Chains A and B, each alone.
Chain A
Amino acid sequence: QKEVEQNSGPLSVPEGAIASLNCTYSDRGSQSFFWYRQYSGKSPELIMSIYSNGDKEDGRFTAQLNKASQYVSLLIRDSQPSDSATYLCAVYTGTASKLTFGTGTRLQVTL
């Protein structure tokens, strides 16, 4: 079992819709969770971090964490074509010195 798993996609949503991206992780002791956005050919950009169970909202983005079920999700409301990118889920695992990444979900927002 991979430490951090994501569906590779592509996930296609129409402009203005809600995009929902999911991530599961295997280390029950993980405490810190992150979503990065990566445009093609560019480096990852941090868009959300979440450390406790529940929802965290920042503009059009909402991160949701459920430690009991070991999943973290990212909702993007009012999706825009500029949101088309690969979204990487990352989790601090082990001694929390190592950030483990999923392989990413490619999101396509269609006009």
Chain B
Amino acid sequence: DGGITQSPKYLFRKEGQNVTLSCEQNLNHDAMYWYRQDPGQGLRLIYYSQIVNDFQKGDIAEGYSVSREKKESFPLTVTSAQKNPTAFYLCASRSRGLSTDTQYFGPGTRLTVL
């Protein structure tokens, strides 16, 4: 099965804890992205990586960190510095061809701070 997987599906965190969200893809895509979605809101870009061992901050990177050690994997850590982490987190990868350029999403992780 080709696609993007995210785990866990649901995650509960106590205040002050760091948590790591997993994102894996077997589509051989170079670029990967992390977004956050709050209720009734569009998606906001947290971090993105266009190639292994390189990543850039998006619009709301404060309180988050990422790594890109392998092409297939782009984990996101939500640190205790993130003031309001409860949200739906979406990972995406980018497919670029001669006439197409699109992003596809994983199923998402819903994070709740207790």
> Which A positions have Cβ atoms within 8 angstroms of B?
4, 8, 32, 34, 36, 42-46, 49, 51, 88, 90, 92, 96-104
Contacts and interface: CB of A to CB of B under 8 A. Distances in A.
A103 B42 contact: yes
Interface in B38-56: 40-45, 48, 50, 56
Interface of chain A: mostly helix, strand, loop or mixed: strand
B99 to A, nearest CB: 7
B63 interface: no
A99 B103 CA distance: 9
A44 B90 contact: yes
Interface residues of B, number: 24
B102 A46 contact: yes
Contacts of B90: 43-44
Contacts of B31: 97
Contact of A102 (B40, B42, B102, B106): B42
Interface in B1-58: 31, 33, 35, 40-45, 48, 50, 56, 58
Interface in B84-110: 90, 99-108
Most chain B beta-carbon contacts within 10 A, residue among A45, A98, A102? A98
Contacts of B44: 101
A43 B37 CA distance: 10
